[in-house]
Amino acid sequence: MSTERPDIVLVLADDMGFSDIGCYGGEIETPNIDRLAAEGVRLTQFYNTARCSPSRASLMTGLHPHQVGVGILNFDDTPDGYPGDLSPASVTVPEALKAAGYATYLSGKWHLSSDMERPNASWPTRRGFDRTFGTLEGAGSFYRPRTLMRDETNVEHEAEQPGWFYTDAISDHAVGFVEDHDAEHGDDPFFLYLAYTAPHWPLHAHESDVERYAGRFDAGWDTLREERLARLVEEGIVTEDDGGAELARRDPRVAAWADTTDHAWDARRMEVYAAQVDRLDQGVGRVLDTLERLGRLDDTLVVFLSDNGGCAEELDREFVTAFVPMQETTREGDPVVPGNVPGLDPGGEDTYMSYGRAWAHLSNTPFREYKHWVHEGGIATPLVARWPRGLEVEPGSLQRRPFQLVDVLPTLLEAAGASYPETRDGVRVPPAEGRSMLPALNGEDVADADLFWEHEGNSAVRSGPWKLVRKHGRDWELYAIETDRAEAHDRAAAHPDVVADLAARYDAWAHRCGVLPREAVLALYERRGKGLPPE
Ligand SMILES: [Ca+2]
């Protein structure tokens, strides 16, 4: 390669918890992501934004989701709420990189447009990507996804081919984009956004992958959580200083494995989830192999992370029927059974299930709560970065400094030598909210910045040794987060001055970023006829 600018591959998993992959203590086989970790660096305290669309909005723009119109999901809630469309007064990673000479490709899920029928200014084709393949909507069948697009053409019919599977199609297109790029623009760098929908529900996977996990989860979630925590400690990702025995405490809403009776069906649900992650990892491996074969791999910055923590949603039939835009039949015309039906094996095209709270609790080991919430289990994600020619850090090392999604854009732009513009199409854009992580990824000691979150009235701020966090409608809780990542000991009553200080910081941030008040969020949900997610 004649360029000094690296290729950049940004890999995003969907609804995958903190400790599912092998290099973060999980029992799922992820040799390709593990390779990135062994040859790169892992962050132990990286945070997403708790939910699909808000995380993607923040990842793409370097701004908080509320600043760019996507505070909840891609619903048009105007005039009382967020537009659900990526704001034109923002700059995306591919737009900034294109200005620096990059070719730009998206393979996978977008989820940042409220109108998924007619091409419009929020579609990825008009937000900086030269070529795109994938779905505009947030979740769906892996065998027969809706809103499947190639550039601005609907290609849902392509999924009708026998053996077609979305995770593989995402990987196929990523490989194709890289090969075409090397053949046609070999000297130029590229940016590839590889946005898998795995392992978001529904539980769909190749039976050959599921079979490889037969029996792997039969010990149940209690034993497996203990094993994961032990491996996390052994790896140094979690230390005794993070909260010790409290980290092993089971969510009281989760039954003890020994007290439950659907062991075979429950284990099968987790086997399919594992197979979903496994297939994602196989796709990452195919992209890495392609880069290696073309001689580009060591000049490539690869970043892997997840958009939110493991998801506790139990898909009951009524919920799926009312709120999930599901295909009602398979490609063969057979009915798809909506929701979690004990005794029925998930995995095939005629099922539409989730793995539920207990397994999500395993996914988020050793943290509290789940997707939607801004306690640690909702927002803590693995982040793995590999860039041999650009990072001088010792391979396999860990970085403990906390960062969040707004820090990704400045990191990628610094790596590329690209600049963040002040305007887009003549419209002034907000200054980037984050800061480059490259110094920290290189092992330099950098100061902490305050981190902020809000989703559906769930709020948090992390500042210095403290994290202030609350669920919608509840009081603030205060944790000494450096020694209590389990969020087990609420210090709010003992430190009212700290609560007042952090609450003021949070309120100033929320006001500046256009966060809707909790009451307004509740009103939106009432109008939709759907409550906020239950605890
Ligand atoms: Ca997600």
One digit per residue, the tens of pLDDT, for the chain of length 535 reads 334 899 999 999 999 999 999 999 999 999 999 999 999 999 999 999 999 999 999 999 999 999 999 999 999 999 989 999 999 999 999 999 999 999 999 999 999 999 999 999 999 999 999 999 999 999 999 999 999 999 999 999 999 999 999 999 999 999 999 999 999 999 999 999 999 999 999 999 999 999 999 999 999 999 999 999 999 999 999 987 888 778 888 999 999 999 999 999 999 999 999 999 999 999 999 999 999 999 999 999 999 999 999 999 999 888 888 888 888 999 999 999 999 999 999 999 999 999 999 999 999 999 999 999 999 999 999 999 999 999 998 999 999 999 999 999 999 999 999 999 999 999 999 999 999 999 999 988 898 999 999 999 999 999 999 999 999 989 999 999 999 999 999 999 999 999 999 999 999 999 999 999 988 888 888 888 777 766 6
The pair of structure tokens assigned to 110 is 């977008």
Distance between Cα 435 and ligand 1 center (Å): 24
Distance between Cα 423 and ligand 1 center (Å): 30
Distance between Cα 194 and ligand 1 center (Å): 14
**Whole-structure pTM value:** 0.97
Distances (CA, A) of 445 to 120, 399, 530: 44, 10, 46
Alpha-carbon span 360 to 368, nearest angstrom:
10
Distance between Cα 103 and ligand 1 center (Å): 26
Helices (H), 479-533: 496-513, 518-528
Strands (E) located in 299-356: 300-306, 337-338, 351-352
By three-state DSSP, how is residue 68 classified?
helix
Distance between Cα 360 and ligand 1 center (Å): 13
Helices (H), 68-200: 93-98, 166-185
Alpha-carbon span 192 to 179, nearest angstrom:
12
Which pLDDT score, from 0 to 100, does residue 525 have? 85
The pair of structure tokens assigned to 475 is 């009081």
Alpha-carbon span 104 to 505, nearest angstrom:
37
Distance between Cα 307 and ligand 1 center (Å): 5
Distance between Cα 343 and ligand 1 center (Å): 27
List residues, by chain if needed, whose CB lies under 5 Å from ion ligand 1: 14-15, 52, 307-308
The pair of structure tokens assigned to 158 is 């392509």
Distance between Cα 15 and ligand 1 center (Å): 4
Alpha-carbon span 24 to 86, nearest angstrom:
32
Q: Give the largest Cα separation in the chain, rounded.
A: 64
Q: Is 125 left (phi over 0), alpha (psi -120 to 50) or beta?
A: alpha
Determine the Cα angle at 67 with ends 64 and 69, to 5°.
Answer: 110
Residues 6+ apart with CB under 8 A from 140: 146, 147, 197, 202, 325, 326, 327
Distance between Cα 61 and ligand 1 center (Å): 17
Distance between Cα 272 and ligand 1 center (Å): 17
Which pLDDT score, from 0 to 100, does residue 265 have? 98
Per the DSSP assignment, residues forming a β-bridge with 192 are 9, 105
Alpha-carbon span 310 to 354, nearest angstrom:
11
Which pLDDT score, from 0 to 100, does residue 3 have? 46
> What residues are labeled active site?
52, 111
Distance between Cα 51 and ligand 1 center (Å): 5
Comparing C-alpha atoms, which of 104, 97, 94, 130 is closest to residue 5? 97
Write the DSSP symbol of residue 533: P
